[in-house]
Structure 1
Amino acid sequence: MQKEYRTITEISGPLVFAEVDEPVGYDEIVEITTSDGQTRRGQVLETTSDLVAIQVFEGTSGIDRQASVQFKGETLKMDLTEDLLGRVLDGSGQPIDGGPEIEPDERQDIVGAAINPYSREYPEEFIQTGVSAIDGMNTLVRGQKLPIFSASGLPHNDLALQIARQATVPEEDEDGDGSEFAVIFGAMGITAEEANEFMDDFERTGALERSVVFMNLADDPAVERTVTPRMALTTAEYLAFEKDYHVLVILTDMTNYCEALREIGAAREEVPGRRGYPGYMYTDLAQLYERAGRIQGRDGSVTQIPILTMPGDDDTHPIPDLTGYITEGQIYIDRDLNSQGVQPPVDVLPSLSRLMDDGIGEGLTRGDHADVKDQLFAAYAEGEDLRDLVNIVGREALSERDNKYLDLADRFEEEFVQQGYETERDIDETIEIGWDLLSTLPKEELNRVDEEFIEEHYREDGPEILEASADA
């Protein structure tokens, strides 16, 4: 029989401290019953021989020293079944969509673990997001972790929804394994308005049918925010490695998650690290991000797109800084492009996908993909540099060649990056738009493209604006 304690000594923020007379396991689940009969769930955060610190998921409001504490003898587990697809859950994994109770096929510990490096399979299969700035220039591959670096007031949520709605594994890239595609969407600390926008879009587009949504709102307890991504990733691992799905996990906003860590650390009176965040934040984030990947002998995969808002637009802030160390690149949302009306406002120059080169090319996307990407990067970068020069000497002082690069930089933003949030482009269409832009340059300037591709795709009579691009 489980022992019940009435030995609460202190309540501090989201934490409850209680005396015990026997060992209690780290991460063990706790039930706290208040004097008016309400039950709260919690988790052991720290334990000694005679005292435990408990983080309470539903908040400590209403808990006093007369409340009883009962240790359940197990860690927090997620109820798992394939029927979770199409369901909406709160941040602690409880259904909030009015649907039936979850009847699990199995229950798994949410803490999980990084994939054994020996068992990892190298990520090199293309995932098509339908967004040209990502597919063409910073390609996402199965098993990768590729964060989106945004900032307050920028439309990262619109981009997240577009990716969730459009992301697919192209049929020719499935190797005949028959794996299906699923999306796990974990929202942490979002407003009720944002939650309504997410759900309206999921239901309107039908994306909910292949998705599992976890919602932790801004007025929910901060402690629950530390559980939400682990719930989402445990569900993803189950679908990927036991049901053979290719799973895309979108986590927004990791900044709110890190703020919850800081709040809990302050309540525990820990010695703070950089800017008040816990010194173990790097380890904590790595425990989440490293759960992405592929396992040898398994058809499924877990791919992560964490989204974070950089405080003060500062990419040296601890949250983006540590995230950049752990993950395999980043996609930057740019404030200047957003003010110009570019949708989505992705700045491809500081963006990076470290695994891109292994996920593109003949048999994966198109044989000319890598060459087009390299040439577009070089041409757009040169155009950007020339914009600074124009501010000093004026456009009239530039050569005809320089003016062509300036025009290409403008058209790159207007026709390649700009596509709207409702337009989906397959990889062939994205690369053809790239050729359309490169054809504005003389052939001799295309020094990063193989001759056979130039002969096959270069428009001798000048660019032909693709109809889809013009509509966008």
Structure 2
Amino acid sequence: MTAGPRVEYTGIRELRGPLVVVTGVRGVGWDEFARIRLATGEVRHGLVLEADRDLAVVEVLEGTAGMDTAGTQVEFTGEPLRIPVGPGWLGRVCNGRGDPVDGGPPVFGARLAEVSGAPINPVHREPPAEPVLTGLSAVDALTTLVRGQKLPVFSPPGLPHLELATQIAAQATAVGEPFSVVFAGMGLTHGDVAHVRDSLARRSAAGELVLLVNTADEPVIERILTPRLALTIAEELAFDAGRHVLVVLSDMTSYAEALREISAARGEIPGRRAYPGYLYSDLAAIYERCGRIRGRAGSVTVLPVLTMPGGDITHPVPDLTGYITEGQVVLSRERSGYPPVDPLSSLSRLMRAGAGPDRTRADHLPVAAQLVAALARARQVRELSDLIGATALSRTDRAYLEFEEAFRRDLVAQRPDESRSFDDTLDRAWRVLLHLPVRELTMLPRELVDLHRAG
């Protein structure tokens, strides 16, 4: 954080939730960084949310608890919030404001970058291509993550979405190319933080991880900053250092609720379910910072993880996220075991850009198409079986039920600490498909079917 021209104001009109209303200001602009000095000498930090004539509304990143309108001074630096960026972040654990919590020194970098950032200029965008392999068969086989893609995970409350996010962060790879992970946790419990740190300890020790954690008992205003901080760090690692960077954001519903709380404190007119009317553009400003830039080696891939309140996929947060992103991985209570991914509700719209010959395997796309088609047929057979009984089914229909069981048991089911190679995943997929009669495998080349049957 850099210092600007020293201008201090003591005209604190009001403390409103996480906001400070300052009067008598001059030359203060939106998104300007501020330092707030309490009467006790404690220094806090803030960002200008609104500036109108001689009035400024400042959001306090550490919250306003313990503050008083008397004796508080606000210094506006004349510039937006900036942080040092560079490889010094790798291997570090920081809070949601970027302050170290691992006992190490402050993070230093060769240059400073604005945290607010900006989406990649469409003129300079390179289409996403090449896979990010997660080591999870349910994702790699059917909803392949592509470098530069934004692919959210939708989860009803109570399902292991955080475990899934940390497993992907621990196992993901760019297939032999320089790779890093930036994990931003928002609204986590202390137990969640311990789980994340333990699960990602090996990647952190290898200097491949940046971990930012905002806990549930910390000021909600910090959650507004955390994903932007993560993406600012990731952009330098990707577009300056040439790394492929996966940014995991969990939980974006906690972020949206913090945004709603700040909106209410500002007295804004609420939109759907009391979320601010600009929720869509705010989420887009975060998600659209991922991608690839023409002429540069690295990429930023974003995996937002969000809970659906009440399991409602039409809730504003998943609904708007779905409009902005390129698919979704959906967790379901109806899926037993781990991970509880619903393959027929999940989709990666950019999968064809990152899968197939010279990327994953030549047989990947036809195998994935055949799996989805067979799962859809198996679901119909399951519903028919519930009506007329399994004994009344044809031999082919019973084969589809056997396929469905094998799919869950042998392909999707996976331990939280188990990382599978892509060849292992596709070999398992072939063994599962061969539970069906050959005449049912209409999406697969006959020579490949014969080869795998013989093997």
TM-score range, shorter chain: over 0.9
Q: What letter is aligned with 2:58?
A: I
The equivalent of 1:470 in structure 2 is: none
Write out aligned runs for 1:126-165 (5 A): 126-165=131-170
- Is contact 1:183-1:212 (8 Å) kept? yes
Runs of 4+ in structure 1 over 4 Å off: 204-208
Write out aligned runs for 1:202-281 (5 A): 202-203=200-201, 209-281=207-279
The equivalent of 1:65 in structure 2 is: 69
- Is contact 1:247-1:302 (8 Å) kept? yes
Equivalent-residue separation in structure 2 for 1:189 and 1:440 (angstroms):
44
Per-residue displacement from partner, 1:416-453 (whole Å, max 9, x unpaired)?
11011121111111111111011111111111112232
How much has 1:335 moved relative to structure 2?
Answer: 1.2
Q: What letter is aligned with 1:60?
A: T
The equivalent of 2:328 in structure 1 is: 330
Q: Is 1:50 equivalent to 2:54 in the alignment?
A: yes
Equivalent-residue separation in structure 1 for 2:106 and 2:128 (angstroms):
36
Gap runs ≥5 in structure 2: none
Q: Is 1:405 equivalent to 2:400 in the alignment?
A: yes
Q: What letter is aligned with 1:216?
A: N
Write out aligned runs for 1:95-114 (5 A): 95-114=100-119
Equivalent-residue separation in structure 1 for 2:434 and 2:371 (angstroms):
11
Q: Is 1:200 equivalent to 2:205 in the alignment?
A: no
Equivalent-residue separation in structure 1 for 2:64 and 2:193 (angstroms):
24
Counterpart of 1:353 (choices 340, 348, 353) is 348
Identity in percent:
49
- Is contact 2:25-2:56 (8 Å) kept? no
The equivalent of 1:443 in structure 2 is: 438
Equivalent-residue separation in structure 2 for 1:233 and 1:52 (angstroms):
27
The equivalent of 1:416 in structure 2 is: 411
How much has 1:23 moved relative to structure 2?
Answer: 2.4
Counterpart of 1:24 (choices 24, 28, 38) is 28
3-state SS, counterpart of residue 348 of structure 1: coil
Per-residue displacement from partner, 1:1-48 (whole Å, max 9, x unpaired)?
522111111111001101124121111111111122211111100011
Equivalent-residue separation in structure 1 for 2:402 and 2:451 (angstroms):
24
Equivalent-residue separation in structure 1 for 2:97 and 2:79 (angstroms):
16
Q: Is 1:344 equivalent to 2:349 in the alignment?
A: no
Note closer, same or farther for the CA distance 1:16–1:206 as it changes in structure 2 (3 Å cut). closer
Equivalent-residue separation in structure 1 for 2:258 and 2:41 (angstroms):
28
Q: Is 1:430 equivalent to 2:443 in the alignment?
A: no
User: How many equivalent pairs are there?
Assistant: 450
Q: What letter is aligned with 1:321?
A: D
Equivalent-residue separation in structure 2 for 1:121 and 1:336 (angstroms):
38
Equivalent-residue separation in structure 1 for 2:240 and 2:203 (angstroms):
27
Note closer, same or farther for the CA distance 1:205–1:88 as it changes in structure 2 (3 Å cut). closer
Gap runs ≥5 in structure 1: 172-178, 465-472
- Is contact 1:188-1:252 (8 Å) kept? yes
Counterpart of 2:91 (choices 86, 94, 100) is 86
Please say which of residues 312-321 and 29-38 is displaced more in the overlay.
Answer: 29-38
Per-residue displacement from partner, 1:164-221 (whole Å, max 9, x unpaired)?
11111123xxxxxxx4100000001101110011112222565663100001110111
Per-residue displacement from partner, 1:254-310 (whole Å, max 9, x unpaired)?
000000000000000100000000000000000000011000110000001000000
Per-residue displacement from partner, 1:315-363 (whole Å, max 9, x unpaired)?
00000000000000000111122xx3x1111111100000001211111
Equivalent-residue separation in structure 2 for 1:449 and 1:4 (angstroms):
71
- Is contact 2:6-2:76 (8 Å) kept? yes
TM-score by length of 2: 0.97
TM-score by length of 1: 0.93
3-state SS, counterpart of residue 72 of structure 1: strand
Equivalent-residue separation in structure 2 for 1:40 and 1:429 (angstroms):
52
- Is contact 2:203-2:209 (8 Å) kept? no
Q: What letter is aligned with 1:61?
A: A
Write out aligned runs for 1:172-183 (5 A): 179-183=177-181
Q: Is 1:393 equivalent to 2:391 in the alignment?
A: no
Q: What letter is aligned with 2:95?
A: D
Per-residue displacement from partner, 1:30-79 (whole Å, max 9, x unpaired)?
11111222111111000111111110000101221111111111111121
The equivalent of 2:359 in structure 1 is: 364
Q: What letter is aligned with 2:165?
A: A
Equivalent-residue separation in structure 2 for 1:206 and 1:91 (angstroms):
17
- Is contact 2:9-2:25 (8 Å) kept? no
Equivalent-residue separation in structure 2 for 1:187 and 1:207 (angstroms):
19
The equivalent of 1:384 in structure 2 is: 379
The equivalent of 1:187 in structure 2 is: 185
Q: What letter is aligned with 2:85?
A: L
Note closer, same or farther for the CA distance 1:386–1:181 as it changes in structure 2 (3 Å cut). same
Please say which of residues 234-243 and 116-125 is displaced more in the overlay.
Answer: 116-125
Q: What letter is aligned with 1:22?
A: R
